Amino acid sequence: MKVSLTVNGKPMSGEVEGRTLLSTFLRETLSLTGTHIGCDTSQCGACTVHVDGKQVKSCTIFAADVAGAQVTTIEGMANADGTLGRVQQAFQDHHGLQCGFCTPGMVMASAALLAVNPKPTEAEVRHHLEGNICRCTGYHNIVKAVMAASGQDVSMAAE
Amino acid sequence: MQNFDFVKPASVAEAVAALGAPGAQALSGGQTLIASMKQNLAAPSVLVSLTGIAALKGVSVAGGVMTVGAATTHAEVAKAAAGVFPGLATLAGGIGDPAVRNRGTIGGSVANNDPAACYPSAVLACGATVVTNRREIAADDFFQGMFTTALEEGEIIVAVRFPIPERAAYAKFEQPASRFSLTGVFVAKYGAKVRVAVTGASNDGVFRWSEGEAALSANYDASAVKGLKVSPDGMIADLHGTPAYRANLVAVMTARAVAAS
Amino acid sequence: MPKDFEAKTSGIGAPMKRREDIRFLTGRGVYTDDLKIAGQTYAVFVRSQVAHGRIKAINTEAAAAMPGVLAIFTGEDFKDVGGNPAGWLIKSRNGEPMREPKRPVLAHGKVRHVGDAYAAIVAETYEQGRAAAQQLADDTDIEELPAIIDMKAAAADASNRVHDEIPDNLCYDWGWIEDNRAKVEEVFAKAPHVTTLELVNNRLVPNAMEPRASIGEYFPGTGDYKLTTTSQNPHLTRLLVAAFVLGIPENKLTVVAPDVGGGFGSKIYHYGEEALVLAAAKKLGRPVRWTAERSESFLSDAHGRDHVTKIELACEKDGTFLAFRTETYANVGAYLSNFATVTPTFLHGTLMAGPYKVPHVYVNVKTVFTNTAPVDAYRGAGRPEATFSLERVVDQMCRELGLDPFEVRRKNFITPDMFPYTTPVGLAYDTGNYQATLDKVIEIADVAGFEARRQASAKKGKLRGLGLSTWIEACGIAPSHLVGILGARVGLYDAATVRVNATGNISIMVGAHSHGQGHETVFAQIAAEKLGVPESSIEIVHGDTSKIPFGMGSYGSRSLAVCGVAMTKAIDKIVAKGKKIAAHMLEASEADITFEAGKFQVAGTDKAKTFGEIAFSAYVPHNYPLETLEPGLEETAFYDPANFTYPAGAYLCEAEVDPDTGKVTIEAFHCADDFGNVMNPMIVEGQVHGGVGQGIGQALLESTTYDETGQLLTGSYMDYAMPRASDVPFYNVDYSCQTPCTHNPLGVKGCGEAGAIGSPPAVVNAVIDALHRGGITHVKHIDMPVSPQRVWAAIQG
């Protein structure tokens, strides 16, 4: 069947099977490989994207089920002029990534948090990132980056 | 994953009709079902998405009762219940993670009756009513052991009706890996009567802790359950907790729920 | 970050932002699975469901007839090619060489662990391959044999064998140093006090977030092969595939490790899947790709740790150490992964003196085959196991004798005046100052304020404890001459090529591989400072054997200490060559040319040429004296260090225990490390954070559990507890105590493994301390992971 949706502001469509996951559709049909697959039990969050403004795990949602939706992926998070968006820039400034594999999911989850909670506490950030696993950073600089992206002072994150 | 026909009806009637096809299965938020399908533990030939049915969505409050549409997501419940039924809001806001809460639904959770799921404890503790396309089922009759409910073939949950308790809270001790409840306790107080439902702990799925209910009905205070010993018989034994450990958590988490209510 | 670091904006020591982040943050990184290659096909592996079994028959007929199936491979297809070798020969105490069973591309004859691949399907689509794999599994007859899981039972039972030719399932029984054994026994017999602890160092699954993936290609026109794979060391993989397994000439095989999503050791090794996709690509004439499902990773990636250890400490009543003695059973799993034999021996036993001036040490390690996934080096590799044993037994001794754990460590430290210091387990520490890092951690952790914090916790019904660990490791792996004596079958140098292009920009090809460490930024910082050019004019190239010199990749905290030094040596050659060119251009004597801040100058004059002018001249050599001056400006250096490097530090963990549930919360974690000179403090901090995060994971959460039939019970994130953001605090990291490495010109020591080495004992010590301070004094030890139910059960007694 044919599925049409809007991805990063552009109308996109492609043929899918019933079983085609949104993550597969993004990576293979649309070649948007910034969305990563790190597990097969819906736990790691590397595949996190926004559907109609809400963060979801694209590996646990069928492409056919989001026909007509607005999807945003990591490829759609930069500013219009191509510079890093606010959350992306904070991740670079605060070394919130190492191998980069979990990073797209972390950025998408963090952006979703800041959209509803512009000044989260440290505990709120940590709680919000419950579904995103990172093996490199020990989370320190990720949490710091999210708080910095919200405009808060991060000097309390001792180093 | 085996392939299937995907249908997305717009009404309950169409959904029920679609579920009449051989090998058809309902898909709500899919946060459990899709993972099962990846492992070939479920292999429907037709998948009927309920997420396009407007009648199944939303939260309403009237006459001291909160009615939650079956396809309402955990995130929506957490938001809608925050002022009127904070115990339920806390529970819904603590399920899985934000992405799961944006897709997972109360209907899916209650219908699946995973022994470690959070929602069944609230439904049972509140003596809620599960409304289906055919009938209304009292919570005490609905849950029939892990992954087993009173639902029949072709019957789908339309809504869950919660009488809003005077005081209530949910206290969950998380399984360290999955973050499902290793033992979660929902306490609901209606006048002098207190109901306590426990999830995650028992081989029989969600259950009411009658000893705790009696103690709290007599004295609604965390101290009332502090010394109570819970029998480990019938408790789940797995990597993350022995029956004795879970039995201990029943009393500990009940006390914490009371304190938080 | 210390102020003097913060102030720098470029060059060595500056906290420069990482250039690689731009592509990772915009979804434009290119990991192996992101590549799409015209004509690609999909490999799906058929893996054993039983831990131990004899393959009676594999009937491929039905699977072969399924839609989309292009080829089926079984162990039979590879029985005549080589095995995947062990990289290190260890000898037993009796002088016999270790037992080395063949590790085939696909299991042949027997399957030896759940997840052991015995066949592979190649199909047009992944789903078709998976369906056929299921069919083939159904059509395979495997006679199940009793599983060998428990190490001690395996070594005691000669009747049940993982490998039929190895009667006691023992790879080796290693003594270090065997000649010291008698003396150590004598010391123990006379010691005023002996403390004994039995410890399990829990088995871990590395869980790099990018699952392993490989793409094989074959180009019939030239006979060339290409393997794109998730590797920490593409040249090592090329050597193993070419020379040992498939027999492809090395010069006909290119191995590319593009962006790699974490490794932590698990991507050092060559795996059978890599050989399969290459062989299949040749057979089919089409690219063959494979990406592990996470559940496959759990079953087939090399795991880490898995030691059972008895450690004894002999001491005076005042806590002066007299001797350490250990007996360890180490699990290698079903087959020898490439570094499996060295990890529990030379990466473990040689560290068993710690930072202490203990006169006598004896280490015994029995390494055992079991029907479990192979076990190999995982972040720290052997050194975390040594540190855990030492730091736990020291704390226990202090408790038994009523001594202060801070003072006992201080009393036993090797002092700064004693370097170079040769330990009784064979290492020569070049430099260090263990007192300084201990003092520093006490300062930054506000130990003085602990009691007030403990009382505040007590008011909430919580028990608070303080746990110390003073760690040392040997890294910057490693001097080839030394590892050669100890049994290594490879050298452990590294290499870099500096290519100055005609327009003055620079490509530096390095043997190290970055899979998260940030080499593209840090190596450029160093080169920029040495050459006096901006970082932006330098490109760091890594991960492609067709571009880079033969280097050994990244593991063992070696990238800077070995490859970074190779790069500076190549830069030295560039400068020397530049001086020659400048001398020619400026009509001066080479000896009179100075090089500073990117300018070649005739000393004492204003005659000078910029770096760019020299570069251009090197490629436009219109009037070169060709008999004495070669055109071009490109130099390669190989560097083999004289010694390991020895980072060390002191870690303090403050933990709170909830006695009702047993849950442990890390309230604070303080690190005072000595990494020698620091090239980019931001990255150093990030490495420590990550290591400590993994150490806390090992200490509190991560358990790899096989049941008695060999089924992996923790085979997904539903049961394997990965640390999440809410499980850890902000870490307090200090690296201001610096004793630069004395034998490499950068003075660097290595920081990648530190956090994972020093943190687990600090966490466990803090938990035990919390219980004791809370009056629960019957608990001597709790095995990792110190999970809620274990703590609760220990409290119950």
- The model's pLDDT over C106-165, given as tens digits with 9 standing for 90+, comes to 999 999 999 999 999 999 999 999 999 999 999 999 999 999 999 999 988 888 999 999
Average pLDDT on C432-455 reads 98
* Statement to judge: residues A19 and A38 lie in one domain: yes
- Beta strands A70-72 and A2-7: pairing type? parallel
Interface touch C209/A101, C-beta < 8 Å: yes
With contact defined as beta carbons under 8 Å apart, do C633 and C570 qualify?
A: no
Q: pLDDT 10s per residue in chain B (261 long)?
A: 999 999 999 999 999 999 999 999 999 999 999 999 999 899 999 999 999 999 999 999 999 999 999 999 999 999 999 999 999 999 999 999 999 999 999 999 999 999 999 999 999 999 999 999 999 999 999 999 999 999 999 899 999 999 999 999 999 999 999 999 999 999 999 999 999 999 999 999 999 999 999 999 999 999 999 889 999 999 999 999 999 999 999 999 999 999 999
Residue A158 has pLDDT above 70, yes or no: no
Interface touch A65/B49, C-beta < 8 Å: yes
CA distance A65 to chain B (A): 7
In a mutagenesis test of the C interface, which of A135, A137, A146 is the best target, namely the one with the most C β-carbons within 10 Å? A135
With contact defined as beta carbons under 8 Å apart, do B123 and B139 qualify?
A: yes
- Which of A 114-143 lie inside 8 A of C, CB atoms? 122-123, 125-127, 129-130, 132-143
Interface touch B239/C705, C-beta < 8 Å: yes
Nearest to C733 among A73, A91, A159 (CB): A159
**Domain-embedded: residue C323:** yes
Residues of A in contact with B98 (CB under 8 A): 55, 109, 112-113, 128, 130-131
* Statement to judge: residues A68 and A131 lie in one domain: no
Closest residue in C to B177 (Cα–Cα):
C721
**Domain-embedded: residue A60:** yes
**Domain-embedded: residue C684:** yes
Nearest to B35 among A48, A60, A65 (CB): A60
Say which CATH number the domain at A51 has.
Answer: 3.10.20.30
Say which CATH number the domain at A116 has.
Answer: 1.10.150.120
* Statement to judge: residues C135 and C241 lie in one domain: yes
* Statement to judge: residues A64 and A93 lie in one domain: no
Interface touch A130/C725, C-beta < 8 Å: yes
* B108 vs B53: CA distance, rounded Å: 14
* Statement to judge: residues C782 and C662 lie in one domain: yes
**Domain-embedded: residue A154:** no
Residues of B in contact with C719 (CB under 8 A): 177-178, 239-240
* Statement to judge: residues A102 and A143 lie in one domain: yes
Preceding peptide of B98 cis, ω within 30°? no
Last residue of a domain, one of A75, A103, A123: A75
Angle subtended by helix axes C519-531 and C565-586, to nearest 10: 30
With contact defined as beta carbons under 8 Å apart, do C496 and C509 qualify?
A: yes
**Domain-embedded: residue A159:** no
| Residue C259 contacts A, CB cutoff 8 Å | yes
**Domain-embedded: residue C163:** no
In a mutagenesis test of the B interface, which of A35, A60, A106, A116 is the best target, namely the one with the most B β-carbons within 10 Å? A60
Nearest to B176 among C660, C701, C792 (CB): C701
Query: Domain residues for A45?
Result: 2-75
**Domain-embedded: residue A126:** yes
* Statement to judge: residues C603 and C662 lie in one domain: no
pLDDT at C221 (0 to 100): 97
**Domain-embedded: residue A66:** yes
Nearest to B177 among C127, C663, C719 (CB): C719
For CA atoms C389, C391, C392, C397, the dihedral sign is positive
Nearest to B239 among C661, C663, C713 (CB): C713
Chains in contact with A, where contact means 3 or more Cβ–Cβ distances below 8 Å, are: B, C
| Residue B249 contacts C, CB cutoff 8 Å | yes
B237, two tokens: 């034994």
* Statement to judge: residues A15 and A35 lie in one domain: yes
CA distance C259 to chain A (A): 8
With contact defined as beta carbons under 8 Å apart, do B152 and B133 qualify?
A: no
**Domain-embedded: residue A156:** no
- Which of C 658-717 lie inside 8 A of A, CB atoms? 682-683, 685-686, 689-694, 696, 716-717
Residue C2 has pLDDT above 80, yes or no: no
**Domain-embedded: residue C2:** no
CA distances from C250 to C232, C337, C488, C545, C619 (A): 18, 21, 21, 10, 31
* Statement to judge: residues A62 and A18 lie in one domain: yes
Share of chain C above pLDDT 70, in %: 100
| Residue A91 contacts C, CB cutoff 8 Å | yes
At residue C651, φ and ψ (nearest 5 deg) are -120, 140
* C416 vs C438: CA distance, rounded Å: 13
Nearest to C787 among B176, B178, B252 (CB): B176
- Nearest Cα to C760, choosing from C495, C499, C380? C380
Q: How many domains does chain C have?
A: 3
Residues of B in contact with C795 (CB under 8 A): none
- Which of A 92-111 lie inside 8 A of B, CB atoms? 109
* Statement to judge: residues A18 and A63 lie in one domain: yes
* Statement to judge: residues A122 and A142 lie in one domain: yes
Average pLDDT on C417-431 reads 97
Average pLDDT on C657-684 reads 98
φ/ψ bin of C135: left (φ > 0), alpha (ψ from -120 to 50), beta (otherwise): alpha
pLDDT at C471 (0 to 100): 98
Interface touch B242/C789, C-beta < 8 Å: yes
* pTM of the shown model: 0.98
CB-based contacts of C222: which residues, under 8 Å, 6+ apart? C252
- Positions of E strands within chain B: 5-7, 24-27, 46-49, 59-62, 65-69, 129-132, 136-138, 157-163, 167-174, 181-190, 193-199, 207-208
| Residue A132 contacts B, CB cutoff 8 Å | yes
* Statement to judge: residues C277 and C225 lie in one domain: yes
pLDDT at C323 (0 to 100): 98
* Residues in a beta bridge with C652: C468, C670
- As a dihedral over the C-alpha atoms of residue B19, residue B21, residue B23, residue B27, rounded to 10 degrees, the angle is -30
pLDDT band at C4 (very low <50, low <70, confident <90, very high): confident
pLDDT at B77 (0 to 100): 98
Residues of B in contact with C793 (CB under 8 A): 242, 244-245
pLDDT at A100 (0 to 100): 98
**Domain-embedded: residue C651:** yes
Residues of A in contact with B71 (CB under 8 A): none
Interface touch A60/B27, C-beta < 8 Å: no
Closest residue in A to C37 (Cα–Cα):
A28
* C210 vs B145: CA distance, rounded Å: 38
Average pLDDT on A85-94 reads 98
pLDDT digits (tens, 9 = 90+) for C377-414: 999 999 999 999 999 999 999 999 999 999 999 999 99
Give start and end residues of each alpha helix (H) in C352-433: 383-401, 405-412
Interface touch A39/C294, C-beta < 8 Å: yes
- Which of B 61-100 lie inside 8 A of A, CB atoms? 75, 96-100
Q: How many domains does chain A have?
A: 2
Interface touch C719/B239, C-beta < 8 Å: yes
What is the residue type of C201?
N
Helix (H) or strand (E) holding C186: helix C181-190
CA distance C716 to chain A (A): 7
Average pLDDT on C313-325 reads 98
Nearest to A140 among C30, C294, C689 (CB): C689
In terms of C-beta density within 10 A (0-12 exposed, 13-18 middle, 19 or more buried), how is residue A60 classed? buried
Nearest to A131 among B27, B39, B96 (CB): B96
| Residue B245 contacts C, CB cutoff 8 Å | yes
Whole-complex ipTM: 0.98
* Statement to judge: residues C324 and C251 lie in one domain: no
| Residue B41 contacts C, CB cutoff 8 Å | no
| Residue C660 contacts B, CB cutoff 8 Å | yes
* Statement to judge: residues A96 and A55 lie in one domain: no
* Statement to judge: residues A98 and A71 lie in one domain: no
Query: Domain residues for C616?
Result: 493-639
With contact defined as beta carbons under 8 Å apart, do C332 and C340 qualify?
A: yes
Average pLDDT on C193-212 reads 98
In a mutagenesis test of the A interface, which of C16, C17, C24 is the best target, namely the one with the most A β-carbons within 10 Å? C24
Nearest to C724 among A103, A130, A158 (CB): A130
Going along chain B from its start, the domains and CATH numbers come out as: 5-49 (3.30.43.10), 56-163 (3.30.465.10), 167-260 (3.30.390.50)
Residue A159 has pLDDT above 60, yes or no: no
| Residue B51 contacts C, CB cutoff 8 Å | no
> If you average pLDDT over every residue of chain C, what do you get?
97
